[in-house]
Amino acid sequence: MVSISSVVQMPPRQRLRHKLEFFFDHEIHQLPPAAKAKIIRIQVDIDRLDPLGWLSQQTAEIKTYWSDREGRFDMAGVGATDILHSQSTPDFSTVFSHMQQRLPANASVRYYGGFSFQPGSSLAQQWQEFGTYRFVVPQFEVYAAAGKTYLACNFLLSEDLPYPQQLAALLNQLNQLSFTPEKPSLRLPKVINRQDFPSQWGWQTMLKKALNTLQKDILAKIVLARRSDFLFSQKVEPLSLLMAIQQGHTRLFRFCFQPQAGKAFIGASPERLYHRLGCLLQTEAIAGTRPRGQFLADDQSLGQDLLTSEKDNREHQFVVHSLRESLSQLCKLVGLDQAPALLKLSQVQHLHTACNGILVDGVDDGKILSSLHPTPAVGGYPKQPAREAIEQLEPFERGWYAAPVGWVGHDNTEFAVAIRSGLVVNDQLSLFAGAGIVPGSKPRDEWQEIENKIRAFTTVLNPGQNKRRPLPIDSKIESKIV
């Protein structure tokens, strides 16, 4: 018999191995049949370990990373216990229902993934592995929350294999994990080419068409995006890129979804689509952008200019109005900030309006998602005409850019909007960012706004291009000054 004190002193791999063996030898026989049909999680406390750094050391093809904006938890996962994936148009409620059938009443067991921006459209080759939706429960996780770190194993029991054989398979996969305390490399290969879709000339042409549509009162606002492709001298490691852009950047949702080696969707988004805890719903409007100033006085002036800008406030109010319309159908009680505040990030600052609600009985995540996505901050207003115009005008497929990405738990769900994001395919990085177009928008200004939005990436790709002194990022949202 192994004593408790000796187990505590074991390295992480041995501790989890011991707990898995104990489960299969003893605890599995007390499980009720209903529990055996759900995902089972076995976890152990471990010494503090950086999840993203640990993930970068692993050789598994499937990797998943999520870090929430408020710093509540940090999850790095390898492999997949369960995958929900499709190339066809999803029914949101059915997708969530399939996940709930497998999820136990354990807040730590979660599906991580997302949907495509236009679930009904055909997928370009580079997005095939992601599908119209893809959600994964990692096989193994390093999970950090509330000052503690855990190593966990998630698995589903099979009725077709003897339990000893299932245990042996898990232990074999556990043995392939690396716990080498090496400092991950942040070095990136050299950029040898950049190409924008559309080009600056094409961007001007696209915006003129959009502005003509706005003048015909078909749309009040449309968000048009650009894709910037960077070719490197060799393959790019997605996690090294994600680690590089997180330096000095806070208050962001960070994510990496890697369905296979050499291909990953990564990002650092400031925008929450929604967070649901039971019947409590949190969401927000983010629209209207200015860069951060080089000096404090410049920064405050830019922020005040944003707060008093008629054009930006008009753009922001489309998002707020759309939120109010959606929440009136979803919630029996809604609380909405009276005026926007400034959300200051490292490179840009935005107008921000927070919203909370109590859901009507029977409203599920499928109804919430279909009602809120896409917000006018990434699509336009009204929604459906804006989506149709985006498909006609943009010379590329958005894929998962600006789409809902996040996690789903037993009674707790959170999705961010996948902006400030990029698709890594071997030696190429495609960056995506958009700008809200309303009457009065100027192509040159909107082009520069997108440059500001992708600067978190471009400054680490070309470290010498931005010499300005970084300003602090507020830990709270500033109040509006009238």
Catalytic residue, candidates 141, 271, 284, 394: 271
Bridge partners of residue 71, in order along the sequence: none
Choice among 19, 38, 63, 221 that is catalytic: 221
H-helix or E-strand spanning residue 7: helix 4-8
- Cα separation, 169 vs 369, in Å, equals 37
Residue 221 a catalytic site member: yes
- The closest alpha carbon to 243, from 190, 187, 292, 189, belongs to 187
Phi/psi for 343 (5° steps) reads -105, 110
- Torsion sign over Cα 108, 112, 180, 175: positive
Query: Tokens 């003129």 — which residue?
Result: 208
449 belongs to an annotated ligand binding site: yes
| Overall size of the chain counted in residues | 482
Q: How far apart are CA 160 and CA 324, in angstroms?
A: 50
What's phi and psi for 98, nearest 5 deg? -60, -40
Which whole-number Å values give the CA distances from 444 to 50, 204, 208, in the listed order? 41, 8, 12
Nearest 5°: the CA angle 379, 432, 214 is 35
Instruction: Tell me whether residue 315 is annotated as binding.
Output: yes
- Whole-angstrom distance, CA of residue 157 vs CA of residue 24: 11
- Residue 10's CB is within 10 A of a number of other CB atoms, namely 15
User: 358 forms bridges with which residues in the sheet?
Assistant: 280, 333
Continuous H helices in 68-199: 92-102, 163-175
State residue 454 phi and psi, 5-degree precision. -95, 5
Enumerate long-range contacts of 456-462, CB under 8 Å, 24 or more apart.
456/245, 456/249, 456/268, 456/346, 456/347, 456/420, 457/241, 457/245, 457/420, 457/422, 457/429, 457/431, 458/431, 459/347, 460/188, 460/241, 460/244, 460/245, 460/247, 461/188, 461/191, 461/230, 461/429, 462/191
- What does DSSP assign to residue 478? B
Are 379 and 271 contacting, i.e. CB atoms less than 8 angstroms apart?
no
Residue 58: CB atoms within 10 A of its CB come to 20
Which whole-number Å values give the CA distances from 84 to 93, 221, 266, 315, in the listed order?
A: 13, 34, 19, 36
Listed residue (428, 454, 431) closest to 236, CA to CA: 428
What token pair was written down for 428? Answer: 């190429």
CA distance 217 to 451: 29
Q: Please state the residue numbers annotated as binding site.
A: 315, 449
Question: Which residues participate in catalysis according to the annotation?
Answer: 221, 271
Q: Please state the residue numbers annotated as binding site for Mg(2+).
A: 315, 449
